[in-house]
Amino acid sequence: MELTRRETLAVGGAALLVAGLPMPAMASAVDDQINAFTGGADVAEGGIDLIAPEIAENGNTVPIEVSADGAASILVLAAGNPTPGVGTFNFGPMAGESRAKTRIRLAGTQDVVAVAKMADGSFARTSKNVKVTIGGCGG
């Protein structure tokens, strides 16, 4: 089958459109989770540290560390996963520092987002892009 120039452009355009569609849907899922966590309050950039590798060879176990001075709880989201939720760390009265390390799954190259709820009720967020060589969602 031979494609004319016009048909090729039409097919290519349609493919681009389809590829572009899921992104806004996922972004809103992340925003929804952040809103549920903050109750719609303003979220400032910075004041929270997220340590993650720039390149993760295996998306099944990506080591991350979150820390924020004086945080009561920290929410971690993986923006590009089928379900963005990763976990929430709630620090109790016996916590030495508001810091935790764990290992997470990432389906592909994406942003990892961390939002901290400070003891005074304010919120801080940060995000880090992690390149994933082999995705960690099976399938």
Partner 1 sequence: MASGVRPRVKVPKSASAGDVITIKCLISHPMESGQRKDSDGNVIPQSIINNFTCSFNGETVVNIEMKAAISTNPYFEFDAMVPEAGEFEFVWDDDDGSTYTDTKAISIG
Our finding on whether 39 is near partner 1 (CB under 8 A) is: no
Sign of CA dihedral 97, 49, 30, 138: negative
- Using CB under 8 A as the binding rule, the residues of this chain from 80 to 119 that contact partner 1 are 81-97, 99-106
Tell me the closest approach of the beta carbon of residue 11 to partner 1, in angstroms. 29
Residue type, 97: E
Told to check if 37 binds partner 1 by CB under 8 A, we report no
| Pair of tokens at residue 136 | 């960690």
Q: Specify whether the CB–CB gap between 114 and 48 falls below 8 A.
A: yes
**16 CB contacts (<8 Å, ≥6 apart)?**
none
The residue among 8 and 58 lying less far from partner 1, judged by its C-beta, is: 58
Is 136 an interacting residue with respect to partner 1 (CB under 8 A)? yes
Report the C-alpha gap between 26 and 63 in whole angstroms.
23
Per-residue contact flags (x/-) with partner 1 for residues 40 to 79, judged by CB under 8 A: --------------------xxx---------------x-
Report CA-CA distances (Å) from 52 to 18, 67, 74, 122, 128.
30, 12, 15, 24, 7
| Residue 8 binding partner 1, by CB under 8 A | no
Using rule CB under 8 A, residue 14 touches partner 1: no
**Residues near partner 1, by CB under 8 A:** 60-62, 78, 81-97, 99-106, 136-139
